[in-house]
Amino acid sequence: MNRKIAPLIKDAVEFNLQLKPYQKFALDNGVPVYAIDAGAQEVIQVEMVFYAGNWFEQQKSVAAATNYLLKNGTSTKTAFEINEVFEYYGAYCNRSCFNETAVVSLSSLSKQLPAILPIVREMITDAVFSEAELDIYKQNSKQRIKVNLQKCDFVATRLIDAYVFGEEHPYGKYTNPEDLDALNCHVLKDFFNQYYLNGQCAIFVSGKLPADIEAQLNSTFGDLALKPFSNNLSTIKQSPAAEKKYRIQNDADGVQGAIRIARNFHNRHHPDFMKVSVLNTVFGGFFGSRLMSNIREDKGYTYGIHSYVQNHIHNSAWMISTEAGKDVCEATIEEIYKEMKLLRDDLVDEEELMLVRNYLIGTLLGDLDGPFQIMGRWKNLILNNLDGDYFYRSIETIKIISAEELRELAKKYLNPEDFYEIVVI
Amino acid sequence: MIQFEKFEIANGLKILVHEDISTPMAVVNVIYDVGARDEDPAKTGFAHLFEHLMFGGSVNIPVYDEPLQLAGGDNNAFTTNDLTNYYCQLPAENLETAFWLESDRMLSLAFSKKSLEVQRKVVCEEFKEHYINKPYGDVWHKMRELTYTVHPYKWMTIGAELSHIENATLDDVKAFFSKHYNPSNAILVVAGNVTVDEVKRLTEKWFAPIPAGEKYVRNLPVEPKQTAARSNTVKANVPLDALYKCWHIYPRTDMRYYTADLITEILSGGGSSRLFQALVKEKQLFSNIECYHLGSTDAGLVTIEGKLVKGVKMEDAEAAVNEELIKLQNEGISQRELEKVINKTESMMAFEDMTITNRAASLAMYELLGDADLINKELDLYRAVTADEIKNESKIIFDEKNSNTLYYYSNN
């Protein structure tokens, strides 16, 4: 045995990746349900996705506050009582608010579903948004913002999005303490009424599904005034900042700077999107990427550096993100631009490209481990108005994209003058 | 029920195999029985720095990551005060690549000077990112110093100070490797689309030739029972006052651990937990409050921490926390409340076991504690906890003499 010689491998690109198809049915009111029945553990996840993100709010932070307070009291139950039911049955009911969508998600042992679905129904039909609960929410959110504003990474992340999309755009706006002060119960109730009670909804259910899942969901949600998802959203104009470079001193005692470098980018429907995903992997998308190898593994400037394309529905941004030692922030930025230039000038060699192809396919194979992960993939496709074909085309792209194509894309998109740049210390 | 098979080879390496043919992947998880508690007090942070160096090339393989990525794999590692865990996941067909890589770095490292220099810097940036450059980032540094007088839990995994990492030498690295990184000090778990026979064959081929090395015998000072309340006051450039309280609890393998764990759930595991309801919702003294423990192998700590609502006095906040604890000590809990925290535990365990990566890591950790089958037995151990035990243990744990309090004041 010679330990210097690697064992033979099967190239991951030879694997036949399959995305397990979903079952689809509609509730009596037309709300679509996407279902994946898989897995060994007796667990289930039900996600109700509403078009109720900050895309729809007329006043800042209304969407997020409404989403959060769904669980904080109905006409018959206090927040405590609602939580007690979920927790007694070992279930988790989380809310999250994004740009276009807002989600109520329930995770529990499959056997407990009949006991807890009625509480979810109550939340999305009868939430009361009391003054007292809103006041606590405002107070605690403001305190959390105050703490976060002392962190350079938090400040930099907020600002870079605002530069790229504009502070008025849903992707660029952020919450200040005074936005929270301005909230009132009536605005929340109106928002709830329009975007939850009479809103557009899709349901994603995955895990070990009970045989009567369709009946359970239909009897709980099928008679509500909800409408099916339409995927037809108004567009909102972006107003990117004129100035491209920023240096901000946020914390006098700071020993690191948060660096964010970003440019606007297309959404998933653009033909370059999938190809750029591969280029991004080479550039800064995994541990073996150019940025990581150079700036962490060679220079030791940072604990980690990553690049990624934001997962937005309408428009996206291509982002580079790191926290580096205060004294090496400018050197780090210089190296980032050097790596862009290398990708514009030189071809990625075959060995590196093969590694990236195998890595991407291999991790994709690993990411599809389990029903929640499979459904997560589908949900992302569906919410982006894409189908299974997109998944298979992205795999094909990973397998066949050439070094020349990558260089062309780098020339098109990795030009420093197109990027916004910020360092917050 | 999580099935596994266990065997040991001549050099002392223990191997566990968990077959799951529903996934196309395999996970190879190697745990080394060494953590920050095994460090020299003058060279803290070393176990974690060493974890970084394990990716800097081994004796026959110049780089670890690339061959794994080429095989479609991905990996990571973490260090705690108790242990160091490495894991990689890759398509099951390429399982042997993981055996090749893991066995070579168990055999010996490349001990590259450049790797040490770079990783010292990387770890210093990690230290800064998490513990210096964040508001309240130094809390655990101070709390560990307050709560432990002799046991090495008195420093954080990242290290007590930056200089310990900056001063690490290649000789330190070599000595640490030969002391801790040998087969008798390791547990290998292979999970996923694999067979026991295949794992046996690959183990024989790649791991059996590694010399046994000397078994490290741990002999740590035992933390004496705390006999008087301790406290410390900090003023720092943070926006809000915060209160941190810790009490000593039991080692991970003590049966009372399960009682202590459920007590933390009763106090703060969600929107219907006691501290959240009383102090955040009803009295509005805190904007957040948590009660947790770290699951340490040796006797650990239960912690309650929260940030005060602006304008609330520290004494009032602390008195209200104590009032809740006294209520628990005097009145105990109802049967329904006990059922609630046990149900929550059951479902938490089911969710944790969903991925093979988690199952592999859990098996390794339970085996390190002495019995991998705890993965299947623990739910019953939780179910056996009674309301009386919770009441009684809360009197012992939350005894004022056992308390450590950190008053963290805002300068602003």
Give me the residues of A, 217-236, that contact B with CB < 8 A.
none
pLDDT tens digits for range A25-66: 999 999 999 999 998 889 999 999 999 999 999 999 999 999
pLDDT digits (tens, 9 = 90+) for A181-230: 999 999 999 999 999 999 999 999 999 999 999 999 999 999 999 999 88
Nearest CB to B97; choose among A9, A108, A144: A9
Whether B73 and chain A come into contact, CB under 8 Å, resolves to: yes
B209 to chain A: which residues are within 8 Å by CB? 1
Which 107-146 residues of chain B touch chain A by CB within 8 A?
A: 107, 117-126, 128-129, 132-136
List, for residues B101-147, the tens digit of each pLDDT value: 999 999 999 988 999 999 999 999 999 888 888 999 999 999 999 99
Q: Is the pLDDT of residue A9 over 80?
A: yes
Q: How confident is the model at residue A233 (pLDDT cuts 50, 70, 90)?
A: confident
Element (H, E) at A333: helix A329-345
Partner A contacted by B100 (CB < 8 A): yes
Binary contact (B271, A286; C-beta < 8 A): no
A324/B contact by beta carbon, under 8 A = yes
Asked if A82 contacts A245 with a C-beta cutoff of 8 angstroms, the reply is: no
Is the CB of residue B340 less than 8 Å away from at least one CB of chain A? yes
- By Cβ distance, the residue of B61, B90, B238 closest to A150 is B238
Nearest-Å Rg of the Cα atoms of chain A is 23
Residues of chain B below pLDDT 50: none
Sign of CA dihedral A139, A142, A144, A147: negative
By C-alpha distance, the chain B residue nearest A38 is B22
What is the per-residue pLDDT across A129-183, written as a single tens digit (0 to 9) for each?
A: 999 999 999 999 999 999 999 999 999 999 999 999 999 999 999 999 999 999 9
pTM of the model: 0.94
Nearest to residue B246, comparing CAs of B269, B234, B229?
A: B229
Write the residue in B24, B129, B272 that is nearest to A256 by C-beta.
B129
- Taking contacts as CB-CB distances below 8 angstroms, the residues of chain B near A255 are 128, 132-133
| Cβ contact, residue pair A90, B72, below 8 Å | no
CB-CB neighbors (< 8 A) of A369 in chain B: 23, 25, 355-356
- How far is B228 from chain A, CA to nearest CA, in Å? 33
Shortest alpha-carbon distance between residue B368 and chain A (Å): 25
CB contact under 8 A, B344 and A39: no
Instruction: Select the more confidently predicted residue: A301 or B269.
Output: A301
Is A107 in Cβ contact with B239 (below 8 Å)? Answer: no
3-class secondary-structure state, position A96: strand
Put simply, the answer to whether B125 touches A301 (Cβ < 8 Å) is yes
pLDDT reported for residue A369: 80
Longest dimension (CA), chain B: 66
Q: What is the dihedral of CA A3, B184, B77, A14, to 10 degrees?
A: 40
CA distance B208 to B108: 14
Whole-angstrom CA distances from A125 to A84, A129, B267 are 19, 12, 30
Nearest residue, CB atoms, B65 vs list A112, A287, A372: A287
The residue among A354, A373, A355 whose CA lies nearest residue A364 is A373
Does B89 lie at the interface with A, CB-CB under 8 angstroms? yes
Selection from A327, A330, A321, A392 nearest residue A361 by Cα:
A392
Which chain B residues contact residue A286 at CB under 8 A?
A: 69, 74
